Structure 1
Amino acid sequence: MAAIWGGLALGVLLLVFAWDLPRPEEALETTRRPSVTLEAADGRLLSTSGDLYGETVRLRDVPVHLPTALLAIEDRRFRDHFGLDPVGLLRAAWVNLTSGRVSQGGSTLTQQLAKNLFLTPERSFRRKVQEAMLALWLESRFTKDQLLEIYLNRVYLGGGAYGVDAAARLYFGVPARRLAIWQSAVLMGLPKAPSRYNPRANPQAAADRGAEVLRAMAATGALTEAQANAEAERIAFPPRPSRDAGWFADWVNDDLAARFPGSADLTLRTTLDLRVQALVEAKLETLLAGPGAAAEVGQGAVVVMDVATGAVRAMAGGRDYRRSSFNRAVSARRQPGSVFKPFVYLAALEHGLSPDSTVSDGPLTLGRWSPGNGGWRPRGDLPLEEALAHSVNTAAVRVLVRGGGPKEAAAVARRLGLTGPFPNDATIALGTGEASLLELTAAYAAIANGGMRVVPNGIASARAERRALPSGEPAPIRVLQAEDALAMRRMMEAVVNRGSGRAAGVPGRNVAGKTGTTQDFRDAWFIGFTGGTVIGVWLGNDDATPMDDVRGGTLPARLFHDILEGLPR
């Protein structure tokens, strides 16, 4: 009678625990977030998002030391137990009892698989019972080798990577079938705490854990002590792309759902040149830490772009992405100051003026407004080229009037890609509207390439599950007459050769550009181009506090010079 009633009680208890148990067949086909993998222009991994899965691997395809490392550190009796390991449970209980703390677990690899596939991370007696029940189901449904394959393909290994192939590619840049012994040890050490031992987040902890796995392999006889020590000495992780490239990755990821609808995994080869990105970051930090700090400059942004296509080669949206992910190159809209003047002069060129046409630089009053010229001493009538070269404000306002007024200047700016808003008065000649650094850099690209408007873009090619997809980037369109673009380029070369932008000049290169400074030195700009590259620079402070006499022709022009000097010809 006791056996009968005990059996009934046990059956009822099992029903209670199994009441909300997930159906294993459905759980094995769980859905996931589509992954997006961004590659740099040379194919190196830039970032991943979503749930990253690699190729499905079979035991026969991977090195034997990969499953060996897993069993050595996680479940040495895996091939001997039935999903639950009473010996292991007793051993863990004894160790925990004698040490006075929970230092060892008794879960088998099959139980871990059941937990990872079907259950939540909740710690409770109910979940442990369900885990045991699912482990028994898995053992009855699959062979040991099949269970190992499921584990290797589905286990979470940090960084958004599920499965050994995805993790091998993420951390080492190789497929799982080409893993070295030490790499297998590092990967198989991750399931215990993927975030803590993530090689990208904590390389030292990952190396220590990998060495622990190698010692476990030696203890099981899979390696000799000498081999384990030698492999531990080889543990080294490839340098990851700078975290400051995060601004570029965020920008590229921003509209992917609209551009690539669907649920397929995406692999995007971007236009980012990691060498140029590293150069930009280093030069920006050097300037901000040195002369920038002395002049009370707290932030900066840089964009390097191809003039023919609008492809962004480098983007620094600030000083340190880890401290602030706000993208000052894309999202910050500031007064452009005198870097807006080329659009005013372009409107005048389209109304029949030329670089040799003259304009007065004398005092000017419009209503109650009298634009100043800073330290410029009036000379009378100047060629437009000289007026732009020295960024004479009163001359720019007169050029605005002769070019059709504020609406015509705003129309030229919009045609080249600026979105505004722009004031409908003469102050627009001095750049009192709003623009982002990325917009301005792309607009200057149209001047540099002979009058073709380009749309800033960061994707060179796209693949979805090995199928090529169209990137969807619009083709450049003509927005300026070639002769007007050439005339403007000539005038902007004068800015660098003998005007306000002389600090940007690089010997042996024909550099054209324009300086810009806003009221009270709140913003300082230099945007210039040479050959097939345009570089935009902004310096300032997030709270718009003034800098100490920082003009577009000083630190921004110097930063432009330093970056350009480091670029290959």
Structure 2
Amino acid sequence: MSKSSSRFSPKQLFRLFAKRERPPRTLWSRLVRLLKIAGAVALLFLITIAGLLLYLRSQSLPAAVISQSSQMYDSQGNVMDTFLAGENRKSVRLDAISPYLVQATVAVEDQRFYQHFGFDLKGVARAAFVNLENRKAKQGASTLTQQLARNLYLSHERTWKRKLKEAAYTVQLETTYSKDQILEMYLNQIYYGHGAYGAEAASRLYFGKPARDLSLAESSMLAGIPKGPTYYSPFNNMKKAKDRQKLILSILSEDGYITANQAKSAFAEILSFRTLGDGQQEGFAPYFRDYIRLMAVDKLGIDENLLNEGGIRIFTTLDPVAQRAAEAAVAEGLPQDSELQAALIAIDPRTGYVKAMVGGRDYKQNQYNRVLAKTRQPGSSFKPLVYITALQEGGMTPLTPFMSEPTAFTYDEGRYTYEPHNYNERYFNRNIDMRTAIASSDNIYAVNTIMAVGAEKVISMARKLGIESELDPVPSLALGTFPVSPFEMASAFSTFASAGTRAEPTAILRIENSRGEVIYEASPRKEQIITPANAYVITSLMESVFETGGTGNRVSSVLKRPVAGKTGTTAADAWLVGYTPELTAAVWVGYDKGRTISVSESHKAAPIFAKFIEGALESVPPKIFPIPEGVVSVYINPLTGKLANAACADEQRLETFAAGTEPTEYCADVENGPDNDKAVHQGEGAGTLGEQKRQSWWQHLKQWWDS
């Protein structure tokens, strides 16, 4: 064999090498290799972070963002409020702020403020878990430093670019200033509501004293406001403000800063608040303005700082003519030397647009908006919700009879008894129909109706009509014994006025940012809740309230147009909820503390309603309620509930029905037969002479139209 033939070619040597078995890699060697890689990555990460920190440390912080006034417009395009007008700010040193307020602020906003480096990773994880558990953004994790960076240097738009800038400025703040300096800037920058920026201005606004003198109770109240100045201001909602104060005191107690007894005493302390005096901007329609702020922040998710300083424009549904009429009606309708309060809310039933809102007699003295208060019993003004349920789902008609006499009702399989009474123990002591019951506000008829229809069905109907307050399926529900808000009542009655279609109440039409870009536009829902025929029937029945014998008759001379509605009176409340084809209004009168109202005070709601309706619609020609298809009107004999003819012509009235529910039998046989019947049925006479004298001009017009 030759020497050359014993050699391997390079290709053969590679194959032999590749087939050799390599020694197995041990677990330890693999772990060492992974640790080396991880160490290299960590070192690279630390070098990058260090470089980034050094870079940010060398950069100057930008100039603070210049606040831009946000404006609110009414439905005619007039500026009705400028949010930044009257800005109240005064900076003080940290040691000039009560340590109670400092500690309370840290406790509720950023408990790990002195431990983290601008970002609370533990807080982020906790917030992420809570939000995941609730499937919505329920808890945030922004630190005080992040909030300060956002308020000083950035707009409040929710973009990734802004978040990255916020993170960078947070690092710069933490590397440039001490914790106490950051806290001092924060407490001088944060917004406390009603134009007050910073702890010093807020302390003087709410309590009339410098921030250094705030007590534990005052500090814990004040510290809760920045989370949502509109939502937690004691001027706007004392209950929510007290709930948040209780939370802050419990955190301070758990952290050992105060004792449990101190927390309990501070919560029980009666705080002495200043009233919003002449130095505060009341603005036009102040209760409506506060409602808009609440809706923008709470429902639409608009950042409150953006609302106050971002130069946005909010276009609302407020009608300045209606608002002025509402304010004038409330001012003139309440005694000047009394603590009697009132609330008025007006809605256009065709669109659901809120046209006017008055939440009390004097905004500067008390900012509590009674229009939204779900604390007042509606009394008999709730009855139409029972009657529409009976008409729509209970098989009843305007002629369904019930005996008006003292009655004991048993319910819940006989376990309970309910004995309602009529006002002043006045009863007809005979069968009456639905029109008579509504006009006279007969309680026995209303309870008979809910017993026949079922309270559960009434509650279901109330929910569809916009009543969200708690209602229990008991007989007394028919008499309005469960508290609701004037806002809810106006929304419900608007459905009657709009042929059974409920338009979702709307107050904000559009919001634009400082560049004119639309960031929100309303698209209110509409839903047919009641048939148009039944909506017209209940409207026709409620027109009787303002006629002779009706509980609202005393203001009929003020009303110059067709109006339907219902009064309601309890020991502590007076109501009138009513409407025209163009406007629905709910008026409540009473005392804040539920004090009993006098007989004369119980009559205040109706005149306020009447004056408002005529003032708001002064330039609008009177209109009858449109009569939809499926409605028939026939002359009936109210004593028998049958069609009227010559045999009972002395007792007859024109009654309205959903087609197919009107009576078909006559009150009695007559010798002249059908011709005589037909004459009366078709309305050749307009009822008895006595009825003609009592009927208003629009009733004659309706009768002419029907015939």
Q: Determine the C-alpha separation between the residues in 2 that align with 1:281 and 1:437.
A: 16
| Correspondence for 1:285 among 326, 331, 336 | 331
| Correspondence for 1:267 among 292, 310, 313 | 313
| Correspondence for 1:428 among 454, 477, 482 | 477
Q: Determine the C-alpha separation between the residues in 2 that align with 1:298 and 1:401.
A: 36
* TM-aligned CA deviation for residue 275 of structure 1: 2.6
Per-residue CA distance 1:512-567 (angstroms, 9 max, x = gap): 0000011x2x0000011112101110000001111111476x22111111112222
Q: Determine the C-alpha separation between the residues in 2 that align with 1:301 and 1:278.
A: 14
- Give the 5 Å matches for 1:5-404: 26-28=61-63, 30-31=64-65, 36-49=70-83, 243=283, 245-257=285-297, 258-259=299-300, 261=302, 265-289=311-335, 298-350=340-392, 351-366=394-409, 367-375=416-424, 376-403=426-453
- Checking the alignment, whether the CA contact within 8 Å between 1:276 and 1:314 is kept in structure 2 is yes
The answer to whether 1:509 aligns with 2:550 is: no
* TM-aligned CA deviation for residue 260 of structure 1: 5.2
- Checking the alignment, whether the CA contact within 8 Å between 1:39 and 1:268 is kept in structure 2 is yes
Q: Determine the C-alpha separation between the residues in 2 that align with 1:462 and 1:52.
A: 22
Report the 3-state secondary structure (helix = DSSP H, G, I; strand = E; otherwise coil) of the residue aligned with 1:480. Answer: coil
Q: Determine the C-alpha separation between the residues in 2 that align with 1:372 and 1:52.
A: 54
Per-residue CA distance 1:221-272 (angstroms, 9 max, x = gap): xxxxxxxxxxxxxxxxxxx996461110111111323525465642011111
| Correspondence for 1:532 among 566, 575, 582 | 582
Q: Determine the C-alpha separation between the residues in 2 that align with 1:332 and 1:244.
A: 25
Higher alpha-carbon deviation: 358-367 or 444-453: 358-367
* TM-aligned CA deviation for residue 492 of structure 1: 0.6
Change (3 A) 1:26 1:426: same
Per-residue CA distance 1:307-366 (angstroms, 9 max, x = gap): 111211110000011010000011342111111101111111121111122222121102
Q: TM-score, normalised by structure 2?
A: 0.48
5+ long unaligned stretches in structure 2: 1-56, 88-151, 154-193, 197-279, 410-415, 621-707
Give the 4+ runs in structure 1 shifted more than 3 A.
22-27, 31-36, 50-53, 240-244, 260-265
- Checking the alignment, whether the CA contact within 8 Å between 1:38 and 1:270 is kept in structure 2 is yes
Change (3 A) 1:256 1:380: same
Change (3 A) 1:425 1:315: same
Which amino acid counterpart does residue 370 of structure 2 have in structure 1?
R
- Checking the alignment, whether the CA contact within 8 Å between 1:513 and 1:528 is kept in structure 2 is yes
Report the 3-state secondary structure (helix = DSSP H, G, I; strand = E; otherwise coil) of the residue aligned with 1:43. Answer: coil
Q: Determine the C-alpha separation between the residues in 2 that align with 1:430 and 1:551.
A: 20
Which amino acid counterpart does residue 497 of structure 1 have in structure 2?
E
Q: Determine the C-alpha separation between the residues in 2 that align with 1:250 and 1:491.
A: 37
Which amino acid counterpart does residue 71 of structure 2 have in structure 1?
T
Change (3 A) 1:23 1:388: farther
Q: Determine the C-alpha separation between the residues in 1 that align with 2:339 and 2:605.
A: 11
Q: Determine the C-alpha separation between the residues in 1 that align with 2:85 and 2:323.
A: 27
Per-residue CA distance 1:82-138 (angstroms, 9 max, x = gap): xxxxxxxxxxxxxxxxxxxxxxxxxxxxxxxxxxx99xxxxxxxxxxxxxxxxxxxx
- Checking the alignment, whether the CA contact within 8 Å between 1:244 and 1:322 is kept in structure 2 is no
| Correspondence for 2:532 among 469, 479, 482 | 482
* TM-aligned CA deviation for residue 402 of structure 1: 1.8
Change (3 A) 1:516 1:38: same
Q: Determine the C-alpha separation between the residues in 2 that align with 1:523 and 1:381.
A: 29
Report the 3-state secondary structure (helix = DSSP H, G, I; strand = E; otherwise coil) of the residue aligned with 2:420. Answer: coil
| Correspondence for 2:541 among 491, 494, 498 | 491
Report the 3-state secondary structure (helix = DSSP H, G, I; strand = E; otherwise coil) of the residue aligned with 1:26. Answer: coil
Which amino acid counterpart does residue 358 of structure 1 have in structure 2?
P
Cα RMSD (Å)? 2.9
Q: Determine the C-alpha separation between the residues in 2 that align with 1:33 and 1:401.
A: 60
Q: Determine the C-alpha separation between the residues in 1 that align with 2:479 and 2:598.
A: 21
The answer to whether 1:563 aligns with 2:612 is: yes
Q: Determine the C-alpha separation between the residues in 2 that align with 1:470 and 1:431.
A: 37
- Checking the alignment, whether the CA contact within 8 Å between 2:439 and 2:545 is kept in structure 1 is yes
* TM-aligned CA deviation for residue 509 of structure 1: 0.8
Q: Determine the C-alpha separation between the residues in 2 that align with 1:504 and 1:459.
A: 33
* TM-aligned CA deviation for residue 420 of structure 1: 2.1
Aligned residue number for residue 551 of structure 2: 500
Q: TM-score, normalised by structure 1?
A: 0.59
Change (3 A) 1:321 1:371: same
Change (3 A) 1:560 1:451: same
The answer to whether 1:544 aligns with 2:579 is: no
Report the 3-state secondary structure (helix = DSSP H, G, I; strand = E; otherwise coil) of the residue aligned with 2:423. Answer: coil
Change (3 A) 1:37 1:338: same
- Checking the alignment, whether the CA contact within 8 Å between 1:243 and 1:321 is kept in structure 2 is no
**Structure with bigger RCO (C-alpha 8 Å, 6+ apart):** 1
Per-residue CA distance 1:48-80 (angstroms, 9 max, x = gap): 335999xxxxxxxxxxxxxxxxxxxxxxxxxxx
- Checking the alignment, whether the CA contact within 8 Å between 1:349 and 1:484 is kept in structure 2 is yes
- Give the 5 Å matches for 1:449-468: 449-464=498-513, 465-468=515-518
- Checking the alignment, whether the CA contact within 8 Å between 1:34 and 1:51 is kept in structure 2 is no
Change (3 A) 1:304 1:528: same
Change (3 A) 1:468 1:278: same
Per-residue CA distance 1:362-407 (angstroms, 9 max, x = gap): 211024431001232324111111111111001100011122x211
Report the 3-state secondary structure (helix = DSSP H, G, I; strand = E; otherwise coil) of the residue aligned with 2:357. Answer: strand
Change (3 A) 1:468 1:500: same
Change (3 A) 1:244 1:333: farther
The percentage of aligned residue pairs carrying the same residue is 28
Change (3 A) 1:558 1:270: same
5+ long unaligned stretches in structure 1: 1-21, 54-116, 119-158, 162-239
Q: Determine the C-alpha separation between the residues in 1 that align with 2:464 and 2:508.
A: 23
* TM-aligned CA deviation for residue 467 of structure 1: 1.6
Report the 3-state secondary structure (helix = DSSP H, G, I; strand = E; otherwise coil) of the residue aligned with 1:41. Answer: coil
